[in-house]
């Protein structure tokens, strides 16, 4: 992969992000690489950015959330992401600012490896028609929203028998997402190179309901049997439908 055009995504709420963006922009420009600097939406608010045409690489300056949002733009067009960890907690953003120039130098000289991560695609159907869909690098979550009672979910994985979940919701997580929300409901950690999905109920009303791992080629179908109330569909903690 030849890097000729880099888009720098900046979470300006992170301390040092502006200074690091200026450093990246200056270094790449001096190396003959075209750059574009865009602002990442903060807390799913504010104007979103469009991926500039011709982008060969995304450099995100923020945390895991900045990468998760960027992945939904980068994945459909096959653009890799270099995540720079700007403070706080992060599993996916592995490059620290003090090492950034060295990593950029490696990248421009061809000394790098692209690690592919699986994503999960979710779709909401009403009366047989698709009304919403989204991709998640971490997970897709169906939850009860503001309802005080639990959801009853009829669940079918592939051609297997139907199962019933009575719970606050259910998480379908990728191996990358196994360290996120799914971990907090008792899900196992998964190697990011696995081609699998994790199905994990949220606060199930039975001891028999446990997280399960299935091949990522399986189609997972949930039917909400609960009448009335709000049911939320989120991708990587971003609300898509309710």
Active site positions, annotated = 64
Q: Extract the tokens encoding 236.
A: 């990587």
For residue 19, give Cα distances in angstroms to 14, 67, 74, 156, 159: 11, 19, 24, 50, 53
For residue 167, give Cα distances in angstroms to 13, 90, 92, 132, 207: 35, 29, 29, 23, 11
Q: Extract the tokens encoding 78.
A: 């096959």
Place of tokens 């490896």: 113
* Cα gap 52→12, rounded to integer Å: 19
Q: Taking the alpha carbons of 153, 157, 162, 167 in that order, is the dihedral positive or negative?
A: negative
* Cα gap 25→44, rounded to integer Å: 25
* Cα gap 192→185, rounded to integer Å: 19
Do 197 and 120 meet the contact criterion of CB atoms below 8 Å apart? yes
* Cα gap 68→140, rounded to integer Å: 12
Which residues are registered as beta bridge partners of 170? 142, 201
Do 202 and 227 meet the contact criterion of CB atoms below 8 Å apart? no
């Amino acid at each position: 992969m030849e890097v000729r055009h880099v888009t720098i995504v900046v979470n300006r709420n992170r301390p040092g992000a502006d200074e690091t963006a200026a450093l990246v922009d200056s270094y790449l420009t001096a190396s003959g690489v075209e750059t574009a600097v865009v602002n990442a939406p903060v807390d799913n608010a504010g104007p979103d950015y469009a991926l500039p045409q011709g982008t060969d690489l995304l450099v995100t300056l923020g945390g895991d959330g900045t990468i998760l949002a960027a992945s939904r733009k980068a994945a459909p067009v096959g653009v890799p992401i270099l995540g720079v960890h700007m403070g706080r907690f992060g599993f996916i953003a592995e490059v620290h600012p003090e090492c950034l120039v060295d990593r950029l130098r490696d990248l421009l000289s061809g000394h790098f490896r692209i690690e592919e991560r699986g994503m999960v695609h979710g779709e909401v159907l009403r009366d047989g028609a698709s009304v919403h869909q989204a991709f998640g690098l971490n997970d897709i979550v169906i939850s009860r929203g503001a309802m005080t009672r639990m959801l009853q979910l009829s669940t079918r994985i592939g051609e297997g028998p139907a199962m019933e979940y009575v719970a606050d919701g259910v998480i379908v997580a990728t191996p990358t997402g196994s360290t996120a929300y799914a971990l907090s409901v008792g899900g196992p950690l998964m190697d990011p190179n696995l081609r699998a999905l994790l199905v994990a109920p949220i606060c199930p009303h039975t001891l028999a309901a446990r997280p399960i791992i299935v091949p990522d080629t399986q189609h997972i179908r949930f039917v909400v049997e609960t009448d009335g109330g709000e049911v939320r569909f989120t991708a990587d903690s971003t609300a898509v439908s309710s």
